[in-house]
Amino acid sequence: MSQVPSPAAGGTSEGRDLELTQLTKEFASFTAVKSLDLVVPQGSFFALLGPSGCGKTTTLRMVAGLEQPTSGTIALGGHDITRTKPYRRPINTVFQNYALFPHLTIFENVAFGLKRRGVKQTHPQVQEILQLTELTEQAAKKPAQLSGGQQQRVALARALINRPEVLLLDEPLGALDLKLRRAMQLELKRIQTEVGLTFVHVTHDQEEAMTMADTIAVMNAGVIEQMGSPAELYDNPRTTFVANFLGQSNLVGGKILGADGDSVVVDMQGTKVSVPRQRAHSTSGAGWVGIRPEKVLVAPQGEEIDAPGNHMRDAVIVDASFIGVSTQYVVKMPWGQEMLAFEQNTGRRGVMAPGTKVDVSWRPEFSFLLDASQDVGAGREDA
Amino acid sequence: MAATEVTETPAPVVAPDAGKRRSLTGYVLILPAAVWLGLFFVVPFYSLLANSLFDPNGSVLTGYKVTYHFANFWHALSDYHGPLLRSLWYAGVATAICLVIGYVLAYAIAMKAGRWKNVLLVLVVAPFFTSFLLRTLSWKLILGDNGWVVNTLQAVHVLGSNGRLLATPVAVIAGITYNFLPFMVLPIYASLEKVDGRLIEAAGDLYASPIRAFGKVTLPLSMPGVVGGTLLTFIPAAGDYINAALLGSPNQRMVGNVIQDLFTTTGDYAAAGALSVILMVIILALVVFYVRKSGTEELL
């Protein structure tokens, strides 16, 4: 996965960055977006990730001009566009339901934006974009005659042809089946690299966000919980919400004993574990020690485990699901908590049956430490 | 038809004669509609066609005979082409006015009314709770020579001091417009209601100003309603005789009035039948032409 430095600092705003400042949207009964500050650097693939109702679509609609912010500003390249009419913004949207014009052919749909801007000769440009999106054969058809994946590409072509400064994607892949979705994710990423436009992608699918985006902003209840590259967010979540929403996490309660050199030591259910200081988001009191399931190593009792440091004994496997590339274990810890551990099926060992007594271990540098005042279940999909 | 042979997938248990029974079921289900259509369309239509081919010398006393007297059509045309053309003209003007008023009204109800939508729809339909005849008679009072409308128009010199509205084409067209407006509003409303607001948003996102978005998206998508509405207005308006009878004078006689006279007063069934068939053919031709032209063949 490509590692692009986080633009969160927003220091070098050369070019035409999209900048949201103190953006707020209140509806009659609730606040959808709360004082949002965000800089999307020009040319980046930016994902707004969050569960439904977190305010991500409202944010997108405000950028498109389809919704008026209650307060705050939207600027593009230093130019305030907060009150600019949608049809005057150099921004196009790929809508969730595609919103293709049913009475127009694919060609006419794609040419729509150019025509409205007074371009006389639309033919060459339309042909070019239809080629890019592999729709040349469908040009004369109506949207209803196309498959979901083709319609999605038409929506994309219709927006891309205008070379907007910012392309907004509102869960554009939500309606596609899994296989097609994967293919379209790679396709979108390729096109974005090719044309070099700023993409702002709204999604609730964390895997999709991680596959495509350079930078992800995780949104929850109208605010951005954390922003950074996919790897940064995954390895070093700052809140339980991010830890649970982006992938899965084991969160174990513990008492923070204090700093020790470059790490913070925690008394986790009687075992002393250490967490790297830059991943410790709390330094005193109670905390959640977090570890990703694939970083948790499990071995039959007494067997050597390649993970110096945090080592726990007397655990029991209560469930094992074999899913091909890996096996997912649910392990009951001595203190009663169940933890998830994913093991690659390298062939080194067979699947351990439920009931097997095991030792559990992980490398301390992979763990993280969160403030225990947060809800441990926040952001869990089954919550 | 249901396949009865064994297939790879476990097929639902089907009795061997299920296919036959199912096709019979279809005919049975169609029966009420077929009977209705036969009784109330085929039979009257045949009878009308027979009328138009009667011997023109027949009378109520001597009886009528179908003599395939095709000259009936030429006589009807040469005697009554005036009222016939007038009918098409009045109906056309009234339909055009209905279209303008109706579209604006339907648009306001569908797009702008918010929670008042249902109230406004009821108001559009409300006149139907009073009889057609009574409503038209009320217009006779409203447009009467000493009514406030005429007085006002005289006062502002739109009408001369002896000017009147009753017994003029204006009154007849106004009456038709009023009476058939709901038939225009409702289909357009139904079409506009179905227009996905997200498409209008998408048009705006693609650089279309609200006016362009209306012209390029909303209007084309509401065309089925426009076509349906104009047909529902024009067809009955062209055959209407009550408005001309109550609000017009003999100078505003429409073809409906002529047919009514021929059937009920003169007893000239042959001419009445021929004229009815002619009117029907003209309307049918216009409708086919119009529907083809507007690209909404699926309505036919």
What is the CATH T-level fold of the domain A7-90+164-235, as seen in this structure? Rossmann fold (3.40.50)
What is the CATH T-level fold of the domain A248-371, as seen in this structure? OB fold (Dihydrolipoamide Acetyltransferase, E2P) (2.40.50)
Closest of B117, B112, B138, B156 to residue B242, by C-alpha: B138
Per-residue model confidence as pLDDT tens digits over A348-375: 888 999 999 999 998 888 999 999 888 8
Q: Mean of the per-residue pLDDT values for chain A? A: 89
Contacting residues for B48 by C-beta, under 8 A, at least 6 apart = B273, B276, B277
Strand partners, A199: A45, A167
**What is the Cα–Cα distance from A323 to A326, expressed in whole angstroms?**
6
- Give the percent of chain B with pLDDT over 70: 91
Q: Mean of the per-residue pLDDT values for chain B? A: 89
Cβ-based interface (< 8 Å): residues of B facing A: 196, 198-199, 201-209, 212-213, 216-217, 220-221
A158 part of contact set with chain B, CB < 8 Å:
yes
Q: Which residue of A has its CA nearest to B219?
A: A103
Q: Binning pLDDT at 50, 70 and 90, where does residue B67 land?
A: confident
Average pLDDT of the segment spanning A127-140: 92
Q: Binning pLDDT at 50, 70 and 90, where does residue A223 land?
A: very high
A103 part of contact set with chain B, CB < 8 Å:
yes
A102 part of contact set with chain B, CB < 8 Å:
yes
A374, containing H or E segment: none
Nearest beta carbon to residue B209 from set A87, A99, A162: A87
Has residue A2 got a pLDDT over 50?
A: no
Alpha helix ranges (H) inside chain A: 56-64, 106-116, 123-132, 148-160, 178-195, 206-212, 230-235, 240-245
Whether residues A101 and B199 touch (CB distance < 8 A) is answered with yes
- What residue ranges define each of the domains in chain B, with the CATH number in brackets? 81-299 (1.10.3720.10)
Whether residues A91 and B205 touch (CB distance < 8 A) is answered with yes
* Contact status, residue A192 vs residue A224, Cβ threshold 8 Å: no
B284: which 2 tokens? 């049918």
Whole-number pLDDT of residue A37: 94
Residue matched to tokens 């098409």: B88
Has residue B267 got a pLDDT over 50?
A: yes
Mutate to test the interface with A, among B115, B206, B211, B227 (most CBs of A within 10 A): B206
Per-residue model confidence as pLDDT tens digits over A74-121: 999 999 999 999 999 999 999 999 999 999 999 999 999 999 999 999
Whole-number pLDDT of residue A3: 40
**What is the Cα–Cα distance from A179 to A164, expressed in whole angstroms?**
29
A10 part of contact set with chain B, CB < 8 Å:
no
Q: Binning pLDDT at 50, 70 and 90, where does residue A244 land?
A: very high
Closest of A174, A122, A128, A127 to residue A148, by C-alpha: A174
Has residue B280 got a pLDDT over 60?
A: yes
Whether residues A99 and B221 touch (CB distance < 8 A) is answered with no
Whole-number pLDDT of residue B2: 42
Whether residues A92 and B205 touch (CB distance < 8 A) is answered with yes
Q: Count Cβ–Cβ pairs < 8 Å, chain A vs chain B.
A: 61
Whether residues B209 and A162 touch (CB distance < 8 A) is answered with no
**What is the Cα–Cα distance from A224 to A230, expressed in whole angstroms?**
15
Q: Which residues of A touch B205 (CB under 8 A)?
A: 64-66, 86-87, 91-93, 95, 159
Nearest beta carbon to residue B204 from set A87, A97, A101: A87
Average pLDDT of the segment spanning B41-70: 85
Q: What is the ipTM of this complex?
A: 0.81
Per-residue model confidence as pLDDT tens digits over A180-202: 888 888 888 888 888 888 999 99
Has residue A378 got a pLDDT over 90?
A: no
Average pLDDT of the segment spanning A291-311: 85
**What is the Cα–Cα distance from A381 to A375, expressed in whole angstroms?**
14
Q: Which residues of B touch A88 (CB under 8 A)?
A: 207
Closest of A101, A102, A131 to residue A113, by C-alpha: A101
So where are chain A's domains? Answer: 7-90+164-235, 248-371
Residue type, B126: A
Per-residue model confidence as pLDDT tens digits over A15-43: 789 999 999 999 988 999 999 999 999 99
**What is the Cα–Cα distance from B290 to B285, expressed in whole angstroms?**
8
Cβ neighbour number for residue A110 with a 10 Å cutoff: 29
Q: Which residues of A touch B208 (CB under 8 A)?
A: 87, 112, 116
A172, containing H or E segment: none
Whether residues B204 and A85 touch (CB distance < 8 A) is answered with yes
Closest of A212, A249, A241, A244 to residue A229, by C-alpha: A212
Whole-number pLDDT of residue A303: 84
Whether residues A87 and B216 touch (CB distance < 8 A) is answered with no
A109 part of contact set with chain B, CB < 8 Å:
no
DSSP sequence for A129-159:
HHHHTT-GGGTTS-GGGS-HHHHHHHHHHHH
CA distances from A240 to A53, A165, A339, B206 (A): 18, 35, 16, 40
Has residue A312 got a pLDDT over 90?
A: no
Q: Which residues of B touch A158 (CB under 8 A)?
A: 206
Question: Using CB atoms within 10 A of its CB, is residue A170 exposed (0-12), middle (13-18) or buried (19+)?
Answer: buried
Q: Which residues of B touch A172 (CB under 8 A)?
A: none
Query: The whole model's pTM is what?
Result: 0.80
Please state the separation of Cα B44 from the chain's center in Å.
Answer: 19
Identify the residue with better confidence: B100 or B157.
Answer: B100
Q: Which residues of B touch A87 (CB under 8 A)?
A: 204-209, 213
Contacting residues for B161 by C-beta, under 8 A, at least 6 apart = B154
Per-residue model confidence as pLDDT tens digits over B128-154: 999 999 999 999 999 999 889 999 999
Contacting residues for A209 by C-beta, under 8 A, at least 6 apart = A47, A49, A201, A203, A216, A230
Has residue A320 got a pLDDT over 90?
A: yes
Whole-number pLDDT of residue B25: 87
Whole-number pLDDT of residue A12: 42
Whole-number pLDDT of residue A14: 53
Whole-number pLDDT of residue B232: 95
Q: Binning pLDDT at 50, 70 and 90, where does residue A382 land?
A: low
Whole-number pLDDT of residue B16: 56
Q: Binning pLDDT at 50, 70 and 90, where does residue A11 land?
A: very low
Whole-number pLDDT of residue A238: 94
Do the bridges between strand A263-268 and strand A250-260 make them parallel or antiparallel, or are there none, so unpaired?
antiparallel
